[in-house]
Homo-oligomer: A and B are copies of this chain.
């Protein structure tokens, strides 16, 4: 099987059954390198729901995707075999069951030695993925976390696993290594000052919007840490972006990043062992003209490019 997108020059991009980047839809155990998949679940959101529709919508919009990275000078589809493996099973009403099913689904990807890029889902869906990869790789993960929010908040309404607490659990459960964890795009306001304690106590590096914009972008990029042989996961919450760029999300925060900034940041990473990533919190019912989903497609593309670079090492 050839793992190439259907060409837009032969088949109009609005035609055909929608898969990520018009790639083949294959079984989990086929001979591809990197799995693209969806986690349609939004039971963990605290305000606007909708990310359950993100995998379907990002597949549709990814018809506009292309493979040649102008800055890197290669086509990702010439370097690695990407495929759409469908969606993880989920249970809209029941987070516990959903977690079990995500772990089973991702676990099978891992057992087949696949790298993976998922489209959530709200941010509570990242936790079971991290649990699975932690188990699979037998060590704590490096973790790159784009977000407006720290997501280290305490339980809400008596529930631990809402979408604003996953990063805390990831640290507390020993899934990610705080020394190799960064957060990008954080900004206030917060509910209270003690929201910052977890970050401080765990010495997690936080790059706020102010930090990023304090000097030139090029200078900031140089300050980013490198990720070596530690298996590294990246989670991109679209609300790291300003609502002007990503209106279709559940808890938007004013004063966020631009897509150009996140593109440049994504392009500047050096990640030796990039094992997986996800794009979460895209809420199509609150988007317009699919611009937020289009961001999701582009972030997938940059992650796929990072996979190529990581793989080459």
Binding site for B on A (CB under 8 A): 7-19, 25, 38, 40, 42-50, 52-53, 55-56, 59-60, 63-71, 73-75, 84, 86-87, 89-95, 97, 153-159, 161-162, 187-193, 195-196, 208-210, 213, 217, 242-245, 247-248, 251-252, 254-256, 258-260, 263, 285-289, 291, 294-295, 297-298, 301
| Residues in chain B near residue A159, CB distance under 8 A | 91, 93-94, 97
Are B195 and A68 neighbours in the complex by a CB distance under 8 Å?
yes
Residues of B within 8 A of A289 (CB): 243, 247-248, 252, 286-288
- A153 vs B7: C-alpha distance in the bound complex, in angstroms? 13
List, in ascending order, chain B residues with CB within 8 A of A209's CB: 260
Contacts of A191 in B (CB 8 A): 7-9, 66-68
Point out the residues of chain B lying under 8 angstroms from A69, CB to CB. 188-189
Query: Would A190 and B52 be within 8 Å (CB), given that A9-B156, A157-B94, A158-B94 are in contact?
Result: no
Residues of B within 8 A of A187 (CB): 70
Most buried by B among A25, A66, A86, A209: A66
B70:A208 contact, CB within 8 angstroms: yes
Report yes or no: A56 in contact with B18, Cβ–Cβ below 8 A. Answer: yes
CA distance A252 to B244 in the complex (A): 15
Identify 13 new A-B residue pairs, CB closer than 8 A, beyond the known A14-B56, A243-B245, A252-B289: A9-B156, A12-B40, A12-B46, A12-B52, A15-B38, A15-B90, A17-B19, A43-B93, A69-B189, A93-B161, A213-B217, A213-B260, A255-B263
Question: Is B17 in contact with A17, judged by CB distance below 8 angstroms?
Answer: yes
Q: Given A15-B87, A71-B188, A254-B294, is A285 in contact with B50 using a C-beta cutoff of 8 Å? A: yes
Greatest chain B CB density within 10 A among A17, A153, A287 is at A17
The interface residues of chain B lying within 8 Å CB-to-CB of A8 are: 46, 156, 191
Expressed in whole angstroms, the minimum distance between the Cβ of A2 and any Cβ of chain B is 15
Shortest distance from the beta carbon of A291 to any chain B beta carbon, whole Å: 4
Q: Given A52-B49, A193-B74, are A18 and B17 neighbors across the interface (CB < 8 Å)?
A: yes
Q: How distant is the Cα of A113 from the Cα of B263 in the complex, in angstroms?
A: 46
Asked whether A157 lies within 8 Å of B91 as measured between CB atoms, the reply is yes
| Contact status A9-B70, CB under 8 Å | no
What CA separation (Å) do A201 and B21 show in the bound complex? 30
A243-B291, A252-B289, A255-B260 known; A190-B70 Cβ under 8 A = yes
Chain B neighbourhood of A47, CB < 8 A: 12-14, 63-64
Q: Specify which chain B residues have a CB less than 8 angstroms from the CB of A48 in the assembled complex.
A: 14, 285
8 Å CB contact of A97 from B14, B157, B208: B157
- Residue pair A189, B43 in contact (C-beta under 8 Å): no
Complex: chain B residue closest to A192, CB-CB: B68
**Shortest beta-carbon distance from A210 to chain B in Å:** 7
